[in-house]
Amino acid sequence: MSNSTFFVSEAAVRNLKRGAERHAFGVSSSHMSEGVAAALGFKTYAALRAALAGRATIEVPKPSNARLVQRLRQLGYAAMADDLRLLPEFEHSYSPFRAFPLRKVSAVRWKAWRNLLVAAINAGLEQRLFGLSPGENWWPGGAPESHACERSIYRFMVDGSLLAIASVDAVSGDELSLHAILNPRNAEVEPGPFNGLRDGDAWAHCWVERSLGAWIQDGGEDFSCKRIVQSRLAELRIEPLGYSDQGSFFI
C-alpha cells in the first residue's frame, strides 16, 4: 500500500521557485512563477493559485523540468537547454554522496510502519497540533522557528480500538520528527528515539517533509513490532490527509 504521489502547499511552491531561481540567470520572477506552475501540471500560475486558494495542500504531478523548460521557452527564453535541471526530480533519496532511487514498498513490515505513522500524523493534523507547511508548529511548546520548539506528546486511536501515543518535534529544514508507540505499557511512557518493545507492542519513527512539499521521507523506516500486531497493522487501510506516504529523503 502506497499513496506515493506529490502534494504542495503555497509555501512549498514558493520554496520550489526560490530553488529554481538559484540555478537560473536572467529569468524574471513572474516568468519563473509561470514555469514552476507548468512544472506542476498547470497551464498558468493563476490556475495554480486558484487551486491552492483556501487549501492546505493540493495533489499535483511530481515537478517536471521538461515542462518548466518548455514554458520558459514559450515566454522567450529560447536558449534554455533541454537537460536543464532547475527543480529536484523527487524520484530519489539524496545523501551527500549519491542519489538512491525511492524504495519499492510492498513488504508487510513497511506497511505496518507506514500505517502506524500515517495514523499518528493524521491524528496530529486533526487535533490541530501541526500543519503541512513550514512553521506550522502549534502544539504546546511549538514555535514557528524549529530551533525554538519543544517536543510534545499526544494520544490517538488506531483502527478505532488500539490506543497509541506519539511525540512530535520540529527539526532543521522545517521537517517534523515523529515517534509513535502502539499500546504503550503504562501512562508514563513517552515516545522517543530509544524506545522499543519493552514500551509497547510497536514503536515507529519518521521524518515529515514540509518545505518542498508534504510527504513522509523515504529511508527513515525505524520500526520495532510484535509479529502478531504487525500483521494487523499491515492490513489496515489508512489514507494520508493531504500528504504522501513516501517521498525523497534529503541530507
76-120 pLDDT tens trace: 998 888 889 999 888 888 766 667 888 887 799 999 999 999 999
Residue whose C-alpha cell is 517533509: 209
Identify any residues that bridge with 176 across adjacent strands, giving them in sequence order.
170, 208
Q: Is the pLDDT of residue 4 over 90?
A: no
Residue 45 pLDDT class (50, 70, 90 cuts): very high
* Rounded distance between C-alpha atoms, residue 132 and residue 212, angstroms: 10
Neighbours of 31 (CB within 10 A): 18
Beta strand 244-247 with 215-217: parallel, antiparallel or unpaired?
parallel
* Rounded distance between C-alpha atoms, residue 129 and residue 140, angstroms: 8
pLDDT value for 173: 87
The residue count for the chain: 251
Here the cell at position 55 is 487549501
Which residue has better confidence, 163 or 173?
Answer: 163
- Burial class of residue 24, CB neighbours in 10 A (0-12, 13-18, 19+): middle
* Rounded distance between C-alpha atoms, residue 97 and residue 55, angstroms: 37
Instruction: Using alpha carbons, select from 178, 206, 181 the residue that is nearest to residue 196.
Output: 181
Neighbours of 94 (CB within 10 A): 15
| Percent of the chain predicted with pLDDT > 70 | 96
224-242 pLDDT tens trace: 999 999 999 999 999 999 9
171-203 pLDDT tens trace: 988 999 999 999 999 989 999 998 989 999 999
Residue whose C-alpha cell is 502549534: 138
pTM: 0.93
Alpha helices in the chain (DSSP H): 10-22, 29-39, 45-52, 65-74, 108-126, 227-235
